[in-house]
Amino acid sequence: TRELVEAVDRVLTHADDVRRMRVRANADTAEDARRARERGAEGIGLCRTEHQFLGDRRAYIERVVLAEGEQARQAALAELLPLQRADFVELLEAMDGLPTTIRLIDPPLHEFLPDLTDLSVKVALAKANGEADERDVKLLAAVRRMHEQNPMLGLRGVRLGLKVPGLFALQIRAIAEATVQLREAGKDPRPEIMVPLVGSVRELQIVREEAEGILAEVGREAGTALDLPIGCMIELPRAALTAHRIAEEADFFSFGTNDLTQTTWGFSRDDVEGAFFADYLENGVLTISPFETLDADGVGALVRAGVEGGRKTKPRLHLGVCGEHGGDPESIHFFHGAGLDYVSCSPFRVPIARLEAGRAAAMAGDDATA
């Protein structure tokens, strides 16, 4: 087996020499980051910060979102800052010297709020017993106000960031302060700030302006320049089609093929294992799930449009992909052909991605050693 391991390593090293695209990993924690690095990841292409708030920390986001009045919101945000700073210090330390794309929070809001039906029942029962809790009644009113029929098409990503003042700012400050802290310790943190679910250049412009202000302020106080790259996901058809505009405000794009597939086909990504979708595959209406392998004619055409638009405005715009397709062999060949600079995938898929990126370059006759 030792021989086998060595042989595999030799093949991967050869693929590394040949490939043009870089391979990064999707990782949310320092532990994932270390795992990815061991497998040869050359950076993090996507840290989903909303994952840092599932479990015990869910209540923090709830407090921020439902805060009544500016003072309450600021207090809720202030509680979050040290937690986020510590998350980013750990992550950036694990990825020392390598690019680390941190995506601003992108939760479908319902994941962070109490369930409307459960809460309604609880309050109704309590009222019937004449012992309704004032807090629950208020909470129910707030949850009802924010309730959406279709949360995945609603208050998510940049929309939530713009709707809840201070939420993105808090994360940007945490990234800036973590960077300063690590630099002062002699490290080389390389964070990149990524904005999710952008559909219009204006959304990115507003976030960018705020981010630049915070980076300048934290940098000035620490006596260091913080010109971190700021870019966005391209995961809506409109973003791909207006990429030339969006590129004016972006240092990089990362294609989110999960949402792009969902919104291009109109298939729910959360129901791909459901009866209707499975039937479609079983009966041959679809021969392969577009969520697994990139649909070159539809979703792929939008990726190409995004690449072309972005590079028309900025010929050297840095481009990657961080949807699940970033770890799918066939899709990796597509991304090579489309001219992306990197793919980002789950840590355990990094070796396969290195291999396929090498094969893609060799087969296209434009390998890096030629």
Which residues of the shown chain bind ligand PEP in the complex (CB under 6 A)? 46, 48, 106, 235, 256-259, 322-323
Exposure class string for 65-91: b at 16+ Cβ within 10 A, else e: bbbeeeeebeebbeebeeebbebbbeb
Strand partners, 233: 254
∠ Cα 306 208 199 (to 5°): 40
Residue 45: name its binding partner from Mg ion, ligand PEP, none (Cβ under 5 to 8 Å by kind). none
Nearer Cβ to ligand PEP, position 181 or 331?
A: 331
Q: Is 232 a catalytic site residue?
A: no
* CA dist., res. 348 & res. 299, Å (int): 25
* CA dist., res. 7 & res. 21, Å (int): 22
Nearer Cβ to Mg ion, position 166 or 256?
A: 256
Annotated binding-site residue? 282:
no
Residue 48: name its binding partner from Mg ion, ligand PEP, none (Cβ under 5 to 8 Å by kind). ligand PEP
* Residue whose C-beta lies closest to Mg ion: 259
Picking from 88, 133, 92, the residue whose alpha carbon sits closest to that of residue 114 is: 133
Q: Which two tokens stand for residue 108?
A: 């479908």
Q: Which two tokens stand for residue 13?
A: 């090293």
Nearer Cβ to ligand PEP, position 256 or 327?
A: 256
Which residues, 176 to 235, sit near Mg ion by CB under 5 A?
235
Smallest gap from Cβ 200 to ligand PEP, in A, equals 17
Annotated binding-site residue? 258:
yes
Smallest gap from Cβ 259 to ligand PEP, in A, equals 3
Q: How many residues can be counted in the chain?
A: 370
Answer yes or no: are the C-beta atoms of 56 and 40 closer than 8 Å. no
* Contact track, Mg ion, 252-291, x by CB under 5 A: ----x--x--------------------------------
**Residues placed in the known binding site for substrate:** 48, 103, 235, 256-259
Query: Catalytic amino acids?
Result: 322
Interface residues with Mg ion (CB under 5 A) are 235, 256, 259
